[in-house]
Amino acid sequence: MKFDSPAQTNPIDQLKIVGKPTPRIDGPLKTTGTAPYAYERHNVVPGQAYGYVLGAGIAKGRIKAMNIAHAQQAPGVIGVLNTLDFEPAPLGSQNTANLFGGAEIQHYHQAIAMVVAETFEQARAAAHMIIVEYEREHGNFDLAKLAPDAPLVKGGNGEPSVDSYGDFESAYAAAPVKLDATYTTPDETHAMMEPHATIAAWDGDKVTVWMSHQMIQWGKVALAKALGVPQENVRIDSPFIGGGFGGKLFIRADVVVAALAARKFQRPVKVTLQRPLIINNTTHRPATIQRIQLGAGKDGKLTAISHESTSGNLPGGGPEGAVNQTQLFYAGANRRTALRIAELDLPEGNAMRAPGEAPGLMALEIAMDELAEKLSMDPVELRIVNDTQVDPMNPDRPFSYRDLVGCLRRGAEAFGWDKRNPKPAANRKGRWLIGHGMAAGFRNNVLRKSGARVRLGSDGVLIVETDMTDIGTGSYTIIAQTAAETMGLPLNRVRVELGDSSYPVSAGSGGQWGAVNSTAGTYAACVKLREKVATALGLSGDDITFANGKVASGDTSFALSDAAKNGEIVAEDSIEYAEVNESHQQSTFVAHFVEVAVDAYTGETYLKRMLAACSAGRILNPISARSQVIGAMTMGAGAALSEELAVDKRFGFFVNHDLAGYEVPVHVDIPHQEVIFLDETDPWSSPMKAKGVGELGLCGVGAAIANAVYNATGVRIRDYPLTLDKYLDRLPKV
């Protein structure tokens, strides 16, 4: 199905099932422990052996020698996979760091060996018997040290790239009110509950991997390349995923070594990465150093905007795109954005939930708060006067639908923003300093081709097959809702099967593009099925309806199952986008409001209230959408107050590489959370008229917390996370 113009009225608009608060279909499986995650697929293939991965003990250098003799002779050991016996596995287009093979060490905890044994404990014990002799080289591990000389990221023409519009320098120099400040965000890790895990088994020259993975097609292509086999010889199966947040977008060492070991030792092999290797061996969100310059008139309207961000990565890796939102978020005729990248010998930096916007808005939205204070202007009003309905870098390109102002006004009213005391450190209740802060958020709506196959049986049950994944986001449910709505069936007559590379290629889960595209692909397949059903029943014309399990035209009515009485009817299609993605800027918006209490004696910060008002097109399922937003708000609270990968700048690794040292929020840290969805549709997005929300809730919430802490204490903190050492000595005297 080609989607090349705004959606008109269609079966989804009935909203009998789509748009209704529907509990997740997979909920009972998750809550009873019967949803099989990758490492728990004990019954998919017999004779599974256990692998335990050994990570490099240096961050940069070479392996001179590896003694595996003791490990090979240990009880239960089937064999040892040695990196020195392999050439480096060819990398897929999304990977930067070497996954396995060769003597060169690029980063700490790089996979260099794996012991395969009859039990996990045997494999683990034997892995610690391996003796490795290294030749250590000097490495660069300090972003702040390299930042002053970090080069600009190169553009498509290979030249250093700066995106600009108008004349920033002149406008900034002439601006009556100016802000020039630098903000930092630290390295962060995804900290998903389910570890990276794989079971691999070969059948001749074909391999099947049962793994925890977000993007099935990407993984299939990359794994085939790494193993040197045709893509059609690789099958990936990933029906349930216990969190990914971008950390499972691309294949990692677990699937490569599992497949290599299964082929070498002719046994199915199961592997899970231990938590330190998840943090040091896989990917993380890179730290940033961001300089923001804002110039405004006394009316608050921005006349000059500059945002430059520096991050680091391995050679060949990309930057953290922290300036993405600044190009589009606020009006302003003169603007400049730039990215710099330093070469670091730390583990690979790559996508983590809302890459770019999450750290970028943590800086930009503090800067806006600071500018509002300089202007003696309400922070909400400052954002309203700088709203734009067109792409500021390309004024001829309008937004498809943008109601940031609606988010701001609705959120402010529901939160009681008008009762806030704008004077910092002026609201005290006993030992508590009370503060209120807000910030706006932005995340693009990405359109990606997505396919599905639908099967209608003679029993009237509809089966949907697509390689889309469910990473805890509710994909099973919204896809079922879409199919049920389109085919006029009750929800319990639809079965959804996901995560298998033998199914049609979907958009996959990432970048908050999964929901809108996978449901649109399902809708396209169902539309084709409706046509086949009508033909099978001998119906034609424009008055055919599908409702309550029946197909009707005029006075003629059939049970939907009648169409398949002579055999199953199958239809397959994809949603494909044309100019709509180019002619209109498609984005989502949020306004965050936060109340905090800071202990006047100890400086400890407690969240009291959080509210998010979201503009994201049609909400397909209010229950799962709310869950996504409050989960993102919780992640943002961690980024604001506690999460930081501590870098050992001598030896180049993340010191706190477990969930004891890397502090994520727990239940007691998170207060009442309220989510408001504006009642809207965006017909430019897809036939669903919906947009993503999975990452939107994270965008801006960290800055809202930081701004609330400033309002409570009068101490402005520009370096995340807001830990006590950064402000305790500056608190108001008790």
Which are the catalytic amino acids?
695
Place of tokens 């302003």: 332
507 within 8 A of 523, measured Cβ to Cβ: no
49 within 8 A of 116, measured Cβ to Cβ: yes
525 within 8 A of 518, measured Cβ to Cβ: no
Kind plus residue range of the DSSP H or E element containing 373? helix 357-375
Dump the DSSP string for 226-268: HHT--GGGEEEE-S--S--TTTTSS--HHHHHHHHHHHHHTS-
Q: Report the alpha-carbon distance of residue 646 to residue 657 in Å, rounded.
A: 9
615 within 8 A of 719, measured Cβ to Cβ: no
**Token code pair at residue 715:** 């101490």
**Token code pair at residue 340:** 């710099």
Is the backbone of residue 714 left (phi > 0), alpha (psi -120 to 50) or beta?
left
Q: How would you write 552-583 as a 3-class SS string?
A: EECCEEEEHHHHHCCCCEEEEEEEEECCHHHH
**Token code pair at residue 459:** 């029993």
- The SS3 call for residue 319 is coil
Kind plus residue range of the DSSP H or E element containing 114? strand 111-117
**Token code pair at residue 683:** 């017909």
Q: Report the alpha-carbon distance of residue 205 to residue 234 in Å, rounded.
A: 9
**Residue of 662, 674, 665 whose CA lies nearest to 640:** 665
Q: Report the alpha-carbon distance of residue 551 to residue 546 in Å, rounded.
A: 5
Place of tokens 């809207």: 680
Place of tokens 């748009």: 19
Kind plus residue range of the DSSP H or E element containing 336? strand 335-343
Q: Using DSSP bridges, classify how beta strands 269-272 and 335-343 pair: parallel, antiparallel or unpaired.
A: unpaired
51 within 8 A of 270, measured Cβ to Cβ: yes
**Residue of 718, 719, 715 whose CA lies nearest to 729:** 715
What does each C-alpha distance from 248 to 25, 47, 219, 270 come to in angstroms? Answer: 23, 27, 9, 17
Q: Report the alpha-carbon distance of residue 39 to residue 66 in Å, rounded.
A: 29
Q: Report the alpha-carbon distance of residue 298 to residue 176 in Å, rounded.
A: 7
Kind plus residue range of the DSSP H or E element containing 174? helix 168-174
What does each C-alpha distance from 231 to 208, 243, 469, 502, 548 come to in angstroms? Answer: 11, 26, 19, 11, 42
CA torsion sign, 535 to 537 to 540 to 542? negative
Kind plus residue range of the DSSP H or E element containing 536? helix 514-536
**Token code pair at residue 277:** 């290797």
Length of the chain in residues, anyone?
A: 734
Is the backbone of residue 33 left (phi > 0), alpha (psi -120 to 50) or beta?
left
**Residue of 629, 717, 720 whose CA lies nearest to 670:** 629
What does each C-alpha distance from 217 to 275, 522, 525, 663 come to in angstroms? Answer: 26, 17, 19, 33
